[in-house]
Amino acid sequence: MSSNGQSKTPEVVVVTGASAGVGRAIAREFGKHGASVGLLARGEDGLDAAVHEIERLGGRALAIPTDVADHEAVEAGAKRVEEEFGPIDVWVNNAMTTIFAPFHQISPEDYKRATEVTYLGYVWGTMAALRRMRPRNRGTIVQVASALAYRAIPLQSPYCGAKHAIRGFTDSIRSELIHDGIDVHLTAVNLPAVNTPQFDWCKSEMPNRAQPVPPIFQPEVIAEAVYFAAHARRREVTVGWPAVKAIWGNKFFPGLGDWYLARTGVDSQQTDEPNRSDSPSNLYEPVAGDHGAHGRFDERAEDWSAQSWLNMHRGWVAAGAVAGFVLAGALAQGKRR
260 is catalytic: no
Cis peptide before 215 (omega within 30 of 0): yes
CA distance linking residue 18 with residue 9, whole number of Å = 23
Residue from 122, 159, 260, 284 carrying the catalytic annotation: 159
Instruction: Read off the amino acid at residue 63.
Output: A
- Name the percent of the chain in helix, strand, coil, to the closest 5: 55, 15, 30
Strand ranges for 1-59 from DSSP E: 12-16, 36-41
User: Residues 33, 227: contact at Cβ < 8 Å?
Assistant: yes
DSSP 203-252: EE-SSEEE-PPSSEE-HHHHHHHHHHHHHH--SEEE-SHHHHHHHHHHHH
DSSP state letter for 299: G
User: Residues 287, 42: contact at Cβ < 8 Å?
Assistant: no
What is the set of active-site residues?
159
